[in-house]
Structures are given as structure tokens and as C-alpha cells.
Chain A
Amino acid sequence: MTDTDSFRQEARDWLEANCPESMRHPYRNEADACWGGRNFEFQSEDQKNWLERMAAKGWTVPTWPVRYGGGGLDGAQAKILREELFRINARPPLESFGISMLGPPLMKFGSGELKQQHLPLIARGEIRWAQGYSEPNAGSDLASLQMRADDMGDHFIVNGSKIWTSYGDQSDWMFCLVRTDFAAKKHEGISFVMFDMATEGVSTRPIKLISGKSPFTETLLENVRVEKDQVIGNINDGWTIAKYLLTHEREMIGGSGASRSGSLAVSKVAADALGTDDGILSDTVLRADIARFEMDERCLALTMERARDEVKAGVSLGATASMFKYYGTELNKRRYELLMSISGSNALAWEGVTNQDTALAKSWLRSKANSIEGGTSEIQLNIVAKHLLGLPG
């Protein structure tokens, strides 16, 4: 038996013994996702156990070093673990911006003390993180941000407002871009800081969206004290870290366009809803659009696989995160447009009906944000044009 075979067997046995049965189904709705943090209310004992067992094993962050709460797995082992989780349809034990967004730059740019302070808490799901990037007047032009941090010696006093903070009202800590040098060029006066959102002067205000939900807040900082030892990297060098983080964020969002475990193929949904004649979907025009979509979905999945293989082989093109973000989010919007069309008027119900799915309309509306958040599709195309194609301007 090879090492990989024995690791597969070990992972399979462990998951068999430790993954509760109820955690072996796709999410039914958003409430099934476990976000952890100080105030998280677990939906069930199983959900709590699943997180705690995976965290104890280090498998909420399988490739992180063991000393930071990770599993210490190499790439091949992590892939096997993903396959084994996929095989039993296991839910993610933890959804976390700490893992997907803050983790990579903290690991790369943070001091040993900062890593030891924050990474294990992220790995165990004990602290839930929010992202403080966009401001009311700094969206696509993020580097023009104006949140002000005044140097008080051993700490900063921060004033200003952030917007589009995902789950800001449910988060414990924030990683945040602030302006520490107002005289410098816009990219050169930014610092990357972290603070506890329970600090005096921090408040959040939910933003109600077209979906009727409020997953985002505006976050206001009024004379908030931020310790200087909570700066990642050098003061005024935050833009480097900000961009590095955005790359990871874009990869995460872009990946949402690839076909996902547990979700039914769009063509299957259509065949169930509309029926087939002689094996051909009854609405032939819709069928063509579905086929185009499913082709592109497979293309994206294969290209993500190729990109991973190229990184392993050391021949990566690099800087493809913008392409994946663009392609993946546009694809995910198409998915929801097709699902809406397949369901016709059934998809238009909002509330007050029984036996009818009112979640689809909300998900469709939510999907419109995919190509805006984390940098709009237009910004991604700008980045591809300038950095991959070398076009001027």
C-alpha cells in the first residue's frame, strides 16, 4: 500500500467515525452553514460536534501548519481529503473569511506573534472575521479609500466608515485598510490593520438588499483605538497585502461558478420540471442555452484543475485569479437566470405561498452581487488586459 493509499484509508475511516450523518447532506439553506465565532448559535449538536472534531484534527484548515491549528497536510493529502469529504457529501465544518481571506496574507506577511495570536482561533472557528475594504466613496477605485488612522505613538485612532461588510453585525474582529499617510500617493499611504469589533466606537448598520436580506452592513468607526502591534506588514505598505488578499478572495468567488457538489445539474432540474420528448428536453430553445451553460461550467472546472496542475508543475501563468473571478461569477449569474426561466412563474413567488420554492428568487437576486463584490467584472477585465495582455493605459 502506498502512502497516499494509506492516507486515504485513514481519512476515510476517521470521517466515517466522526462525521455525523446529518452533516452528510448539502446545505438546505443558508442557516445550515456554520460560521463559528463568539456569538454563533449552532443549529444542532451534530453541527457543533462536526466543527469541534474537524478543528481538533486540524482539518478545518488541512494545509496550515500544525502549530497554527492546521492539519499539516501536503497538497496531495489535502486533495485526497477533499475527495473523501466529497465522497460522503460532507458539509464544510466551517465557513470562514478568516480562513479564505485573512489566513493567506497573515501567513505570508504577518509576524510570528500575530500568527500565533490569530491563526489558531481562526482554525478553531472561535473568532469570526469581517473585511473592511470598500468605503462609500471607494468601490472599484479601492485605493482612494479615506478611513483615517492618526498615529498616537503606540496606537492609532481611527475614524471613518466602511461599507459592504459581509455579516458585519455578526463578526468579532475586522481586518481593515486605513490611510496612515495622507501626503503620499494613494497606493502608498495605506496600512493593513486588525481590531476587535467590540472596541468602543465601532458600530454597524445593516443594509437591506434587493433580495430582502441584509448580509452586509455599513461599519462606522468613531475614535477607535487600534494597537500598532496589530498591523500586518509595514505601516504604509498595506496595499501589497490588500492585493494579495484580493487575489485569494477572487479565487474563492470565481470558484463558485464551477459545478458544486450536491447541487443538481441545471439540465436535471429542467428535465424534472419540463419533461422530455424522446429524451430531448421539451423546450428546445431553453435546452440550447442550458447546454451552453453546462459546457462552460465544465470548461471552468477543467481550467481550474489545469491551473492547479500548472502551479504544481511550476509553469503557472500567474495572475489568473481575475480571469477566474470574471468567468466564474458571470457563469453563476447564468445558472440562476436559467433556473429562474426553468421555473417560470413558480420562481416569482416571494412569500405567502405553500408548496412553492421562494428561495430561488432570493438566490437569483443575490447572484447579481457576484460580479460586483471582490472587484467588478469590469475591474477584472481591466486587470487581465493590463497585467496578462500587457495592453497600455
Chain B
Amino acid sequence: MPLVLNEEQLMLKDSARDFLNSRAPVGHLRSLRDSNNMEGFSRELWFEIAEMGWPAMLVPQQYGGLEYGYTGMGIVLEECGRTLTPGPLLCTALMGAAAIVKAGSDEQCENILPGIAGGERLLALACDESPRHAPHKVDTSAEIDGRSYRINGRKVNVADGHFADTFLVSAKTLGGVSLFLVPSDAGGVTVESYRVLDTHFAANVSFDQVQVTDQHLLGPLNGGIKILDYILDVARAGASAELLGIAQEVFERTIQYLKERKQFGVPIGSFQALQHRAAHLFSEIEMCKSLLIKVMQTLDEKADGDAELVSLTKSKLGETAHLATTEAVQMHGGIGMTDEFDIGFFLKRCRILENLYGDHYYHLDRFARQRNY
């Protein structure tokens, strides 16, 4: 498939950009922070987004969805990266939907997918147990007890965990690891939410003798790792799309600043020391654009995705967006350090997304493992 967007996808990109620029620019995030909004996103805005069909993109038509695919979802996530628009798009509409479509029973699909498509359901993945991403290290356990399971353990850094109605939880079962769909209001579930540095929220979630049945099992018993890897890869690709939006937006803002800001009587963009750094960054961002379109097309085409390509994408996007945001602050000089100016919001959001589901070190290692070295 050619590595270019088709007409329809380009229209989606334009309309997403127009909508976000008018309804949820960076100032929207700032006002949520300044008004001390404890959800970190606007439900009103989310329902507007749902009316446009974004959370329905991955949901099959039989469950009220649009079945539009990953490439389309990547486009809107990239645009959300440009405006830093907060909301459940990544965790629910992308990852949650992909998880249920991939591994859900008919009943689970019927119960959950229409709610995702409509914007009512909110999901979060509770998989990590330590500060550095290590999804295969699972101490949380699900002890079997007749037809039910008792879950015990603690998950950390659960993105969207503070408002999710359902957690996707990885837990040890006798013969391996299994995934469970645990309602957040189930007895024994404790959610401690906290604000993270980009003004979003995350949560640590404890499970104390939480009782669920095999109806809550997502996918086969003991078959959780394979599904988890797939879900994570989808989420990593989505986080990469947001990172690409961030990288492009801060880069464009920085180039504009280099043309306007004068020192020594000339625009600072005429200095070769800055030109070369900008040109290098441009090249890296071009590499990232190719990765993103390729990874989304691959998710659309291949049922199991492509772990090597996903890790390459997440690693490269993490590093490049990091470079773009740190260079943006440096090239803006003092004003880039002020809260009044928006650049700092990009630096912070980038740091969160870089870390989410594996930073560039994690994915460098995983890439090499996928290539057998």
C-alpha cells in the first residue's frame, strides 16, 4: 500500500484539525488545569467528539461502530497531539476498543462496544506494577475459586485510571497470565488518583480480594500475554501518533519564532548554529511520519500487528518528540521557560507519552529482541 493518505483520509485530517483548533486548542488544556478540573478532560467536549464518530472508528458496524480502522484513528490522535487535547481517545477509543474487538466474547462485545462507540464507556489498562514499564512481570494474582476468581495485587501508573468504569487487568493464573475486565466499582477495588506533570491524571489501583467470574475473563484463560502484547502495541502506535503531532506542532512554532525573533539586529533563524539543528530535526520528523503511516497501515492489514515495527516507531517517536520539545524550549530562550507561553505544555505532555507503555530504551531493547540479537 502506498505510504500516503488517500482523499478521504486527508479530509478527515482537515476536519479534525479544524474542529480541534476551534474547540480544544492548547488553551483548553490550560483552562482545565487552571479551573482545577479533577477529571482532566471535558465530558461535554467528549460527547461532541463522540458525535463526530471518533470513538466509533475501531468498533465494528454490527456494534454501532464505523469500522474505519487504525489509519483514521492515527490521524485524529496525531491532530490531538498538535492541540494537546485531553480525553479518553487513546485508552478507550483506541486501546479499549481494540482489546474487546480482538479478544472479547460475543457477550462482551455487545455489552461494551456500543458504549465505546457512543462515548459512554471509559476503559483503562492496568498492567504495570513497577515504575518502569515491564508488562510481563505480573505479581497480581487471580486465584480460581469454582467459577469465580479472586484478584489481589496493585497496579501503578494506570492512564485514565481515575475515571475508567472498567479496568483491563493482567493477573497470574495457575498456568500463565490472564486478562480480566474488572468494573471499577467492584468490591475491593481502590483507586488512588494523582495529577501527573502534564496536568493529566493517572491512578494506582489496588485489588483486594476482588471477586470476578469467568464472564469477566478477556480471551482464553492463561492466554493473556499474547493479547496484552497486541493491546499494548496498538496503544504504543497511538501514543506515537500523538507524539508525532506534538513534534510537528512544536517544530512549526519554533521555526516561526526563529523567523520573528530578532537579536543582533537580525532574525535568530539566520544563524547557522540554529539552522543546522532545525534542519536535522526536520529530517528526523520526516522519518517519523513514514513510520507512523506504515505502522497504522500494518495494524489495519495484519491481524497480529508487527511488534518490531511498533517498537521501532515508539522508540523513534519518543526520541524525536523529545528532541523537538527540548529544542523548542532552548530555541525559544527565556520565554520558553514561562508558564504563560504554551511550549512548556508540549514538553510536559511529551514526557508523559514517551514513558507510556515503554520509553525509547525499552523499545530499543525490544526491537533488538524482535530481530534476534
A295-B312, A381-B280, A382-B275 are known contacts. Are A267 and B290 too (CB-CB below 8 A)?
Answer: no
A279-B369, A291-B367, A306-B293 are known contacts. Are A385 and B275 too (CB-CB below 8 A)?
Answer: yes
Tell me whether B368 and A290 are in contact (CB under 8 A).
yes
Q: Which of A281, A313, A320, A381 contacts B275 (CB 8 A)?
A: A381
CB of B335 closer than 8 Å to a CB of A: no
CB of B71, distance to nearest CB on chain A (Å) = 14
A288-B364, A305-B3, A323-B282 are known contacts. Are A391 and B270 too (CB-CB below 8 A)?
Answer: yes
Tell me whether B287 and A287 are in contact (CB under 8 A).
no
CB of A183 closer than 8 Å to a CB of B: no
Which chain A positions have C-beta within 8 A of B3? Answer: 302, 305-306, 309-310
CB of A271 closer than 8 Å to a CB of B: yes
Which chain B positions have C-beta within 8 A of A393? Answer: 266-267, 269-271, 275
CB of B223, distance to nearest CB on chain A (Å) = 23
Identity of the chain B residue whose Cβ is nearest the Cβ of A303 in the assembled complex: B290
A290-B368, A306-B293, A320-B286 are known contacts. Are A391 and B275 too (CB-CB below 8 A)?
Answer: yes
Which chain B positions have C-beta within 8 A of A392? Answer: 259, 266-267, 269-270
CB of A133 closer than 8 Å to a CB of B: no
A291-B367, A389-B279, A392-B269 are known contacts. Are A299 and B291 too (CB-CB below 8 A)?
Answer: yes
CB of B316 closer than 8 Å to a CB of A: yes
Tell me whether B283 and A391 are in contact (CB under 8 A).
no
Q: Which of A298, A310, A385, A390 contacts B4 (CB 8 A)?
A: A310
CB of B36 closer than 8 Å to a CB of A: no
Which chain B positions have C-beta within 8 A of A320? Answer: 286
Q: Which of B163-200 contact A (CB under 8 A)?
A: none
Which chain A positions have C-beta within 8 A of B275? Answer: 381-382, 385-386, 389, 391, 393
Tell me whether A309 and B4 are in contact (CB under 8 A).
yes
CB of A94, distance to nearest CB on chain B (Å) = 30
CB of A294 closer than 8 Å to a CB of B: yes
Which chain B positions have C-beta within 8 A of A382? Answer: 272, 275-276, 279
CA distance A279 to B369 in the complex (A): 8
Identity of the chain A residue whose Cβ is nearest the Cβ of B274 in the assembled complex: A391
Identity of the chain B residue whose Cβ is nearest the Cβ of A311 in the assembled complex: B4
Which chain B positions have C-beta within 8 A of A295? Answer: 312, 315-316, 364, 367
A306-B293, A320-B286, A323-B283 are known contacts. Are A385 and B367 too (CB-CB below 8 A)?
Answer: no
Tell me whether B4 and A281 are in contact (CB under 8 A).
no
CB of A381, distance to nearest CB on chain B (Å) = 4
CB of B371 closer than 8 Å to a CB of A: yes
Which chain A positions have C-beta within 8 A of B283? Answer: 323, 326-327, 384
Which chain A positions have C-beta within 8 A of B329? Answer: none
Q: Mark B249-277, 1 if CB is under 8 A from A, else 0.
A: 00000010011000000110111101110
CB of A245 closer than 8 Å to a CB of B: no
Which chain A positions have C-beta within 8 A of B290? Answer: 299, 302-303, 305-306
Tell me whether B368 and A385 are in contact (CB under 8 A).
no
Which chain B positions have C-beta within 8 A of A326? Answer: 279-280, 283
CA distance A315 to B3 in the complex (A): 11
A313-B2, A315-B4, A393-B270 are known contacts. Are A280 and B373 too (CB-CB below 8 A)?
Answer: yes
Tell me whether B278 and A302 are in contact (CB under 8 A).
no
CB of A169 closer than 8 Å to a CB of B: no
Which chain A positions have C-beta within 8 A of B282? Answer: 323, 384, 388-389
Tell me whether A306 and B280 are in contact (CB under 8 A).
no
CB of A303, distance to nearest CB on chain B (Å) = 4
CB of B261, distance to nearest CB on chain A (Å) = 11
Q: Mark A32-58, 1 if CB is under 8 A from B, else 0.
A: 000000000000000000000000000
CB of B31 closer than 8 Å to a CB of A: no
CB of B3, distance to nearest CB on chain A (Å) = 4
CA distance A241 to B133 in the complex (A): 54
Which chain B positions have C-beta within 8 A of A279? Answer: 369, 372-373
CB of B17 closer than 8 Å to a CB of A: no
CB of A312 closer than 8 Å to a CB of B: yes
CB of A300 closer than 8 Å to a CB of B: yes
CB of A296 closer than 8 Å to a CB of B: yes
Q: Mark B294-332, 1 if CB is under 8 A from A, else 0.
A: 100000000000000000100110000000000000000
CA distance A315 to B258 in the complex (A): 27
Identity of the chain A residue whose Cβ is nearest the Cβ of B1 in the assembled complex: A309
Tell me whether B316 and A299 are in contact (CB under 8 A).
yes
CB of A137 closer than 8 Å to a CB of B: no
Tell me whether A385 and B279 are in contact (CB under 8 A).
yes
CB of A185 closer than 8 Å to a CB of B: no
Tell me whether B312 and A298 are in contact (CB under 8 A).
yes
Tell me whether B373 and A287 are in contact (CB under 8 A).
yes
Tell me whether B4 and A306 are in contact (CB under 8 A).
yes
CB of A270 closer than 8 Å to a CB of B: yes
Q: Which of A279, A281, A385 has the most CB of B within 10 A?
A: A385
CB of B289 closer than 8 Å to a CB of A: yes
Which chain A positions have C-beta within 8 A of B279? Answer: 323, 326, 380-382, 384-385, 388-389
Q: Mark B1-18, 1 if CB is under 8 A from A, else 0.
A: 011100000000000000
CB of A378 closer than 8 Å to a CB of B: yes
CB of B259, distance to nearest CB on chain A (Å) = 7
Sorted nearest first, the 7 A-B pairs with minimum C-beta distance are A393-B270, A385-B275, A384-B279, A299-B287, A306-B3, A309-B2, A302-B290
Some 30 contacts from A to B, beta carbons below 8 A apart, are A265-B371, A276-B373, A279-B369, A280-B369, A280-B373, A281-B368, A288-B364, A291-B364, A291-B368, A291-B371, A294-B367, A295-B315, A295-B316, A299-B287, A303-B287, A303-B290, A306-B4, A323-B286, A381-B279, A382-B276, A385-B276, A385-B279, A388-B279, A391-B258, A391-B259, A392-B269, A393-B266, A393-B267, A393-B271, A393-B275
- Give me 9 other A-B pairs in contact (C-beta within 8 A), A265-B371, A267-B371 excluded: A281-B368, A290-B373, A299-B288, A299-B290, A303-B286, A320-B286, A323-B283, A381-B276, A392-B267
**A interface list, Cβ under 8 A from B:** 265, 267-268, 270-271, 276, 279-281, 287-288, 290-292, 294-296, 298-300, 302-303, 305-306, 309-310, 312-313, 315, 320, 323, 326-327, 378, 380-382, 384-386, 388-393
**B interface list, Cβ under 8 A from A:** 2-4, 255, 258-259, 266-267, 269-272, 274-276, 278-280, 282-283, 286-291, 293-294, 312, 315-316, 364-365, 367-369, 371-373
